Amino acid sequence: MSDIPTYGLHIDGQRVETGQWMEIRNPQNNVVVARVAKGGSEHIDQAVAAAKRSFESGVWSRLEPVDRSRTMAQIAAQLAEQIDTLLAAEIMANGATVRQAAGFHVGLASGHMNYFAELAARYEFERAVPPALYPTLGQSIIRREPIGVCGAITPWNFPLVLTLWKIGPAIAAGNSMVIKPDEKTPLSLLEFVRIAEECGLPPGVINVVPGVGEEAGVRLVEHSDVGKIAFTGSTAVGREIMSSAAATVKRVSLELGGKSPSILLDDADLDLAADGILFGCFLYSGQMCESGTRVLVPRSLHDEFVARLVDRAKTIKLGAIDDWETDLGPVISGAQQARIMELIRSGVDEGAKLVLGGGVPEGPEFEQGFWVEPTIFTEVTNDMRIAREEIFGPVLSVLVYDDEEEMLRIANDTIYGLAATIWSSDNERALDLSKKLQAGTVWINDHHQVNPSAPFGGFKQSGLGRELGVDCLDEYTEPKHVYLDLSGKRESRPYDLLLSHVD
């Protein structure tokens, strides 16, 4: 164990040992790269107590927003300064290539944290509404106050930046937090909390308890002192969290699964669309909730466009994740690899045509770890499992349509509604089509473009609530109405509706 780094839980500013360890394995070769203390329900209780003490002390919650903003800006600056440390911690656990991680997984962290820092300074924590003239003269003030202790359960695919989407608005509003990261990928978040406290974030404001969902996650959701749960993950687990949170009537926001359509119109730039659709589906081996895993193609363009997709996909280079020349890395785990391969087999069994990939790449470097080739199916219908289930792997299904009515029916025929993409050279036509798609984000002639100023979340069973955007602090505050009487006189008030006036 001495040669492998070890991490503890992080509670009230301290490393906490538990006597139990979880192994962190590099998905490219299945080698153990770190060990992390395993937290259970009792450690969640300790972390919630620390967060509650921190909140009630006012050491962070009662700071002026501009002071919270200043500390958060320092954290953002340090995320940029220590990007190499964060990159190493991220990719060794989740298998992202260093190029992708530098651009997305870790590269977005500093800018997004800086956005939340700016929001902390300019968010409208208090506003007056027009005075009431009847039944008496009075002034109402609306205050947005922090909830208290907020819990977050975060995923393995973007363990740093997707957690920051919760941390940023929560602490900007003055809350304290307990975070249960995915047990496979807690390293970059543990590095983050170290950086944050070095920048002046008080101990207890952010507490991190790695552990398994059935123990630590369940306790966090059920805890009566936790006022809000934010979760990113599968729709199935999201349903369970929503149900469990109802027992204590806590606020819940859920960012869940997707089966996003990429819609090719007959006037699209085919070269641009081919590259964009492959980027939309295969980036990070398709392990992104908004990946465009269904491409809808006009029948007249089908053969030509599929040929372009296959030719370009053949140029994707799989290899070592720390090599800047590598395009695509492994999937996260053996269990995930097995599930992807089972779904690929189901596509073949249900009559889809496999035109690229479908297996494990050949070569000694792929004999260990969890690898899946970029895979493309044609002759897919929307009732097949590969068209309906979220695969979370590098699998693209091509579906054909004959007219806009059929295209919209296929695109919207899903329990999900996270994102969609339109490829067209006619902006007006594409914008009009965007109104008819049931999706929380619609990209036109691009994919995976996340703007921190715009809300992110889904329709239908893709989630509840929104992250990012100018109003994201609303999810982490409670509105309070304060009424101030301005009449000053007993006779001007409506008390005689109950009590007769006595001279």
Question: Tens of pLDDT along 422-447?
Answer: 999 999 999 999 999 999 999 999 99
Do residues 388 and 230 make contact, with C-beta atoms less than 8 angstroms apart? Answer: no
Do residues 9 and 15 make contact, with C-beta atoms less than 8 angstroms apart? Answer: yes
Q: What is the mean pLDDT of residues 341-363?
A: 98
Residue 76 reports pLDDT greater than 50: yes
Return all residues near 394 (Cβ < 8 A) that are at least 6 apart: 281, 282, 285, 286, 328, 331, 340, 357, 372, 373, 374, 375
pLDDT of residue 489: 82
pLDDT of residue 502: 65
pLDDT of residue 208: 98
**CATH classification of 6-256+458-482, choosing from 3.40.50.10240, 3.40.605.10, 3.20.20.20, 3.40.50.12280?**
3.40.605.10
Q: What is the mean pLDDT of residues 143-152?
A: 98
pLDDT band at 503 (very low <50, low <70, confident <90, very high): low
> What pLDDT digit, counting tens, does each position of 372-388 carry?
999 999 999 999 999 99
Q: What is the mean pLDDT of residues 126-147?
A: 94
Mean per-residue pLDDT over the chain, rounded: 96
Domain ranges of the chain: 6-256+458-482, 261-444
Angle in degrees, CA 181, 185, 189, rounded to 5 = 60
Tokens standing for 271?
A: 């070269």
> What pLDDT digit, counting tens, does each position of 190-212 carry?
999 999 999 999 999 999 999 99
> What pLDDT digit, counting tens, does each position of 55-74 carry?
999 999 999 999 999 999 99
If DSSP codes are grouped into helix, strand and coil, which group holds residue 225?
coil
Percent share of the chain, pLDDT over 90: 95
Residue 2 reports pLDDT greater than 70: no
pLDDT of residue 134: 86
Active-site residue list: 255
Nearest to 254 by CA among 235, 231, 237, 229: 231
Residue 135 reports pLDDT greater than 90: no
pLDDT of residue 86: 98
pLDDT of residue 1: 47
Residue 250 reports pLDDT greater than 70: yes
pLDDT band at 500 (very low <50, low <70, confident <90, very high): confident
* Helix (H) / strand (E) containing 94: helix 83-94
In CATH, which superfamily holds the domain spanning 261-444?
Aldehyde Dehydrogenase; Chain A, domain 2 (3.40.309.10)
